[in-house]
Each structure stands twice: as structure tokens, then as C-alpha cells.
Structure 1
Amino acid sequence: MSTTVPQQAASQAAMDSAVRHLASTYAPKGNYIGILMLASLFVEAWDFYSIAFVLTFIREQYNPPVVLLGLSAAGVQAGALVGAVLGGWLTDKLGRRVMFIASIALFIVLALAQAFSTSVEMLLAIRFVLGIPLGADVTTGYTYIMEYLPTGRREVMGNRWQVMFAAGQVVCSIVVALFLVFGMSHELIWRVVLGLGAVPALIILLMRADLPETAIWLVRQGRFREAKVVSRRMYNDDLAMLPDADMVIRKPRVTEFLHDLRQDPLRWRAALYAWISFFCCGGQFSTFGFYIPVVFMMVGVSSLIGTSLMTGLIWFIAGIAAWVGPAVLPKLGHRGIGIWGFATVIVGLLLAAFALYTGRTLLLPFAAAIVMWGHIWAVTNPLTIATVVSRAQYRGIVGGVTYVFNKLTVFMGIFLFPSLFAAIGQANATVFVLIFPVTALLAAVFLFREVYGFQLD
């Protein structure tokens, strides 16, 4: 049944009113949903960091070419490049809930499958496909946080994602150390460690089973009747401003988000900073941060077990940073967090380079802790900033595109940094990494304008 122009205008006004109302209302279950989203990042962190611990064991068993071994480590990141964009697009098209459930379910199957790999080639193929749901899950999760928490709270919750990354690293390092102490064979260690990621993923899937679609997405899709049901369930609010009949809404093209962002200089500068800083975060971590256990072993800082425990301690410190950063966000703002974070990374990398140049290897653990503290602060912001300044109808694709900037340098860094190590040495390679935090620091100072508390919809 067709509608007249005045009717369409009235329905559009009702939609805008409903979205503004929802975005400014505190959701009783918003914190629970935010924590549930962050919990899924523990799964990604487990898989991301576990491969760094068990690469040595995989090399012992299969003795593959260095390039193939590097691709096995970085394969998940390549898959996440695809998953971030595809998942973001599907999140806007099919809905948040469908992608939230599908991505974690697919991960469970693939996490178990990689534990039964019979060759490095098979492991590489599985890990590439496994990266697709991981990339999709993060972008979908952020849409939930932005649409179930009010201004101020959503920024803090969104910035807490690195708490789960730190927790995943700490738990993984302890598990690997315990397996080594108990004398488990190296082949069994890498298979069990990679497959164990399916356990927390299954728990999260069961917790997500009863999660509803976001009311804001339903409103923007013109599905008013469903939006009213969800709002009544989550907020005890009937959204009386909406009509009782659904409305046919034009679906925006994927690229329209760029045109929309460019209409507002503040939002456009925020998006550019989010992309630049996330790109640099991926570069500084995937080169130095990801290879901390390898660097410690190469320069003789500690034994294999000692390196695992020392890395776990560094990530415990990083976990504290991941909690402190969002806590001071209301005071420092996104810009302040970025400036302090990248500046701290620069200090840590300079100390690490000094330790490697002079042979004072005992300084390396302290330098690594400083780097990771600063990195955790810096990396908490980009996804939050990008999704805060985007409209609801573009939020999935904007989150996906933003995540791509990070995963691109993570993939390249993990894959190529060992070769850079070999070509110019650990100290020179560490100095090279400075290009990333310096670039991002300049962007935070001269490009970015504060958007903490920004409310668009």
C-alpha cells in the first residue's frame, strides 16, 4: 500500500524521534550486553596470541618454509580483513543479532578444526577462514554497544575491549607454561591450545541465544512493530511516537557512509583519525608487541617457561592499563587518551632500542611493559570513535572499514617483521617501528578534534 509524501515525512519524523529517544535512554541491560560483547573479544585474543606461543612447536613438527610459517600466524588477520568489511555490511543489511550469533558459531567449528590440522597448508587455510567470523564479530559487537548504551557510558564500555585482549594473553601464557611444566608433548600443546578457543566461544554462544535485535536498527529498517516489542522488553517503553504499521525504507548504498561523514568536518576528522590511529596501532603492535616472546628468546632474556610467565606479567600490567584508560576517558577525552598512549609507546620503543643496541637485555621487559601500557591506551579509541560519529544505518560498515585499517597492518607486520629482523637486526627494526606511534601522535595533535559525548542520532 503506497503512502503519501506527508505520511512519509511524518513516519520519518517519528523514526528520528524514536532513535533520539532510545539513544538518550539508559538501557537496564545495556551493561550486560556490553560485557557480553567484550567477552567475545577474549576468544579473538586467545586465538591471536596463542599462535605466537606455539609457532615454535609447529615449526618443530612440520619444518615449513619461513614464509609459510609466517602466513600461518598471520592468516587469521587476512581473514579478518574480509570478515570486517563483509560482516559490517551484513550487520547493516541483515541485522545485528543474526551476525552476532552466526559469527561466534562459525568460530567454534573452525577453532576445533585447526586442532586437527595434518599439515601447515591445512592449518593456514583453516586459520584464514577462521579470521572471517572474528573480523565480523568485533564490528557487530560495537554496533550493540553504541545502540544499547547512552552517551558517555557507551564510550567507556567500548574502550574497555582491551581488558579482554589482555585477559586472553595472560590466561594463554599461563596455560602454555603449565603444559610445559607438566611435560606435555609439544605437538599436543599446540593442538590443544589452538582448539581450546572453542570452549569460551561456546559459553558466549549460549549467553547470546536470548539476545534481541537492537531497537534502533529495527526502527531504521522501518520495522516498527518489532521495534516496539524489543523496546518494551528491554526498556519497558512502547515507543508511542512510532506508528503501529511498518514502513518501507530505502536501503542506502554501501559507499554512502563516506558522503555522510564528509558533510560534517568534525565527524570527518574523527573518522580520519580513527583510521590513521588504528592503522598505526596495528603496525606498532604486530611488529614489536606481538613478537615480545620471540625477542626475549632471541636475545636470551629468559628460558621458554620464564618467557611465557614474563609475557603473562607484561599483559597483566597491560590489563591494568586497559581498565585505567577508559576510567579516565571522561577527564582526558579521546584525544587525551590517544596523545598519552602514543607518546608512551614512543618512550618504550626508545628504551627497547637502547637495550638492544647496548646489550642491556634486562631492560627489555621494562621497555615492553611501557610499550604495551601506551599501546593499550592508544588502541582502545579508534573503533569507539568511528562508530560514535556514524549514523545508525551505516554503523556496521563504518566499524568494519575501521577494523580493516588495523588488520591490514597487523597482517603485514606479523608476516614481514621476522624478515625485517633478519635483514637489519633487532635494534634497527625496533627503531623502524617508531614511525607508527609518531605518525599517530601527530594525527592526534593536529587532525583530531574531541568527540567524547558526541550524539548524532
Structure 2
Amino acid sequence: MDQGTIRRLSDEATQVLLNKEGTASSTRGGWMMIATILIEAWDLYAISFVLIFIKNEYNPSAVQLGLATAAVQGGALIGALLGGYIADRLGRKRVFILTMVLFIILAIVQAFSQSIVDLIVIRFLIGIPLGSDIANGYAYIMESMPKGKREIMGSRWQFMFGLGEVFSILVITVMYASGMDHALLWRVALALGAVPAFILLLARLNLPETPLSLIQRGHFVKAKETSRELFDDSLDMLPNKDVEMIKPKVRDFLKVIWSDPIKKRATIFGWISNACQGAEFTAFGFYLPVILVSAGVGVTGTVNNTNITGTNLVTAGIYILATISGFVAPLMLPRIGHRGVAMWGFGLAFVGLVIGAYALGADIKWLIVIGACILMWGHYWDASNGMTIVSMVAPPRFKATASGFAYTFVKAASFFGAFIFPVMTDAWGKVWATLAVAILSAIGFLSAKFILPEMYGYVEQEQAAVQGAATEYES
């Protein structure tokens, strides 16, 4: 069978799968992938609630503190690039099992760090499987779930982040209230991320490979079998044998995206949105517990002159509100679309940051909390759909590559925000550092208004997009 025929048959099967209704099995796979966000949320944000204890034990400089918190973001940046590329070459299942195993091991190892340098290095390594898993997970969602539901599932990532953050706050607060030694507390808190990761690994072991990934690698026999399981369709147009397929070049990914005006504008917005929301949160939002402690919000006693129980409860309340926001955002898509969600999100985040800056300067504690609530509600909207949009418009043979490349914008901006915010705060003060972050929210709002075409319902047009991608690739 010649390559032209193989490509024609694979594209025909791809068009069928992208327009299927799906089954309970396909929905389960989507939830298993989005659940990865719980693991990432625990690891990324548990450290923000124990940062004060790490500071007390290691007495790091502002640069070291920034690196300790940002290192996982830097590792995730590399992991997103590598994971997306590898997942498109080796398949989804191999990658999501390997990433969970690596995370479990490294999460435990970080609890035994002996210096701030040890912690920085280990957290950088942890970021690699986390970034890989997100890139691979979004590809899995877009390939395994039915049309109309995959973009809703993809937009739930902020809801899952919120659940992970609230869970980590409550667990750490309980450990703190129990009187656990602080030098032990932060180590246990970071290592506990291995527990939900292990549970998720066991749950994923029986998940099938996606039929689209198998098709793009020429594994037609297994693709037909998996398609029956996920979509109740045996893809009769495919031959009952495996074939050799010419692998697409990575450079063709951007060529295909750039050839279609809708794909191009949607992808550019996704990159800008990911960068703005990544820095927006990991600057001010990530350091929120430290900001609240230093501002005296919720303080109830003394531990090195500060008791964080009250502060953590205030923070938990803010994150519960944010979790509700993350749950609501996907429900708003049918009403106001992706543009509406993004514009409202970035707009509210900008307002919240400006209010927060003013409240910090005027030392109005209740207004600091109000500003944080507005910021978090807006952030959990503006961060909900960047990855979804980019992954949704990408051709199947580049799906994980596109997801991974888009996620690098989140991680690069998050690394920058987490690293530079303590430095900016030290040099400029909390007020001006917070206002600097607000500029990013304004950029996100403008990009949603002037760059992003309305993408809700794009799945109904995906059949034509796939055919166009195939034609462009073959030319």
C-alpha cells in the first residue's frame, strides 16, 4: 500500500473519530487525564504554604527562594516540549505511565533534601514529568472524548487546580495545627504529592491508547480495536493490518498552523493567554500566603512571631471561591464563548490586582482579601481555555506537540513570575510589584478582544480542518 493511500485512509478515519459521540469509556479517559492537574496543583502550590518554614530552615537569599519555587516551572517547560514530541512518536499511554512513575519517585526524594540547592535541583527534575504529562494529557482528552465535550473537559483544568490547592491548604493546616515540627512539616507536605499520584497511576493502567494516536503511527489493528472500545466504531475503512507511515517533521507543525487564518489567530492567542495567566498567577497569586502573612491578614498568634493557621484559613476561603469560579467557567462557554470567558477573566484579574496593590499600600487588610478574591475569580476564567483552544485546533498528527509547545508558554511565564516576583518585591515593594503584574492581565484582555476568533463550536468544523491539514502536509 502506497503512502498516498495510507494517508487518505488515515485521514478518513480521523474525520470519523473527531465527529463521534463517544462512550462512557472515552469520558472516563478524559477525567483520568484532567485529574493530572490535581497532582500538579498539589506539588506547585503546597510549597507556597510551607515556604515560610523552608525560609526559616535554609535562610535562602531572594534569588534562591525564587529558584526554589520556580524550579519546577523550568523543569515543566522542558518536559512539555519533550513530552509532546515523544507522545506523538511513541503514543499516549507509554508517556502518561512513565511520567507518573517519575513524579512519584521524585516527590518522595525532595523530602530528603539537605540544602536549598538540593531542593532547587530536585524540584527542577520534578517539573519534567509534570510538564510532559500535561502536554500528553491534553492530547489524550482531545483524541479520546466526543465532539462538544472535549473542549468542556479541557477547560476544567482550573477547577481541578482549585481542588488541588484547597486540598493542599487544608492538609497542611491540619498538620500545622497538630503541632508537627516545622522542619518535618514542609518535607511531609511536599512528599505527600506521591500519594494521589500513585492512586492515579493505578487508575490509568487500564486506559487504552487513543485510536487517533495509533492511526497516526500506522498501528491500524490496535486502532480499530480501541475505536470499538471508545467510540463503538470499528473503522472499517482501515485495513486489518499495520502499515509503515512517514512520520511528520516537527517543523511542519507551525507550517500547518500558519496556513489557516483561524488556526493561526487561535494559536497565537493561546500562547499569549498562557504566558499572561501563567505569570499573572505565579507572581502575585502563588505568593499569596506569604503576602497575607506579611500583611498580617488572618494572624492569630506567633510562630517566629507569626501564626499561619488564620492566614491559611483565609487563603483556603479564597481558593474555594476560585474553585467555584473554575467550575463555572466551562459552563459559561455556551453562553459567552471562549472570547467572553477570556475577556471577563483577564478584565477581573486586572481589577483585582489594582485593588490589591492599593490595599497593600494603604494597609487595608479586608481590601487585600477582596482584591485577592476578584483576582482569583478572574484568573480561574482567563486560565481555563488557552490550552484547550490550542489543542483543539491542532491537527491530530501534531496534537501532543501543539499541546506541549503551548504549555511551554505557561511554564516559561510561571518560572519568570515565581522567580522574579520576590526580587521585584524586594527592590520595588509589594505595591509596584503587584501593579507590574497587572500589566500582564491587561495584555491578556486585549489579546482576547482583538486576536481571538470565537472558537466555541469549532469542533463541528474540525472535519474540514483535518482535511486541510492533510493536504498541506502532503504538499
**TM-score normalised by the chain length of structure 1:** 0.97
- 1:199 equivalenced with 2:195 (yes/no): yes
- 1:298 equivalenced with 2:294 (yes/no): yes
User: Which of 146, 154, 158 pairs up with 2:154?
Assistant: 158
CA distance in 1, matches of 2:391, 2:244: 25
Corresponding position of 2:302: none
Map 1:91-110 onto structure 2 (within 5 A). Answer: 91-110=87-106
User: Which of 321, 339, 342 pairs up with 1:338?
Assistant: 342
- 1:276 equivalenced with 2:276 (yes/no): no
Task: Using the TM superposition, give the Cα deviation of residue 173 of structure 1 relative to its aligned residue in structure 2, in angstroms.
Answer: 0.9
Task: Using the TM superposition, give the Cα deviation of residue 135 of structure 1 relative to its aligned residue in structure 2, in angstroms.
Answer: 0.3
CA distance in 2, matches of 1:119, 1:443: 42
TM-superposition CA deviations, 1:282-315 (whole Å, max 9, x none)? 1111111111111111121122111111111111
Give 3-state SS (helix, strand or coil) of 1:115's partner.
Answer: helix
- 1:42 equivalenced with 2:38 (yes/no): yes
TM-superposition CA deviations, 1:354-384 (whole Å, max 9, x none)? 2123221221111101100100000011100
CA distance in 2, matches of 1:12, 1:37: 28
Matched letter for residue 388 of structure 2: T
TM-superposition CA deviations, 1:119-157 (whole Å, max 9, x none)? 221111111111000000001000111011122211111
Corresponding position of 1:223: 219
Matched letter for residue 207 of structure 2: L
Which shifted more, 62-71 or 34-43?
62-71
User: Which of 23, 26, 39 pairs up with 2:21?
Assistant: 26
CA distance in 1, matches of 2:412, 2:114: 28
CA distance in 2, matches of 1:316, 1:121: 33
Corresponding position of 2:304: none
Task: Using the TM superposition, give the Cα deviation of residue 236 of structure 1 relative to its aligned residue in structure 2, in angstroms.
Answer: 3.2
Corresponding position of 1:76: 72
- 1:313 equivalenced with 2:317 (yes/no): yes
CA distance in 2, matches of 1:440, 1:283: 11
Corresponding position of 1:360: 364
TM-superposition CA deviations, 1:305-340 (whole Å, max 9, x none)? 111111111110011001100011122111111011
Matched letter for residue 14 of structure 1: L
**TM-score normalised by the chain length of structure 2:** 0.93
Corresponding position of 2:470: none
Q: Percentage identity across aligned positions?
A: 44
Contact residue 80 and residue 407 of structure 2 kept, 8 A:
yes
In structure 1, the gaps of 5 or more residues are none
CA distance in 1, matches of 2:31, 2:76: 22
Corresponding position of 1:390: 394
- 1:248 equivalenced with 2:244 (yes/no): yes
Matched letter for residue 267 of structure 2: A
Give 3-state SS (helix, strand or coil) of 1:280's partner.
Answer: helix
Task: Using the TM superposition, give the Cα deviation of residue 21 of structure 1 relative to its aligned residue in structure 2, in angstroms.
Answer: 1.0
Contact residue 22 and residue 232 of structure 2 kept, 8 A:
no
Map 1:105-124 onto structure 2 (within 5 A). Answer: 105-124=101-120
Give 3-state SS (helix, strand or coil) of 2:128's partner.
Answer: helix
Map 1:119-268 onto structure 2 (within 5 A). Answer: 119-268=115-264
User: Which of 384, 394, 412 pairs up with 1:380?
Assistant: 384
Matched letter for residue 291 of structure 2: V
- 1:11 equivalenced with 2:6 (yes/no): yes
Task: Using the TM superposition, give the Cα deviation of residue 56 of structure 1 relative to its aligned residue in structure 2, in angstroms.
Answer: 1.3
Contact residue 83 and residue 132 of structure 2 kept, 8 A:
yes
CA distance in 1, matches of 2:255, 2:8: 22
Contact residue 81 and residue 405 of structure 2 kept, 8 A:
yes
Contact residue 26 and residue 231 of structure 2 kept, 8 A:
no
Task: Using the TM superposition, give the Cα deviation of residue 448 of structure 1 relative to its aligned residue in structure 2, in angstroms.
Answer: 1.1
Contact residue 152 and residue 330 of structure 1 kept, 8 A:
no
Alignment length, in residue pairs? 452
CA distance in 1, matches of 2:105, 2:181: 24
CA distance in 2, matches of 1:287, 1:11: 49
User: Which of 312, 328, 339 pairs up with 1:324?
Assistant: 328
Task: Using the TM superposition, give the Cα deviation of residue 11 of structure 1 relative to its aligned residue in structure 2, in angstroms.
Answer: 3.1
Q: 1:66 to 1:351 in 2, by over 3 A?
A: closer
Contact residue 348 and residue 368 of structure 1 kept, 8 A:
yes
User: Which of 417, 425, 430 pairs up with 1:413?
Assistant: 417
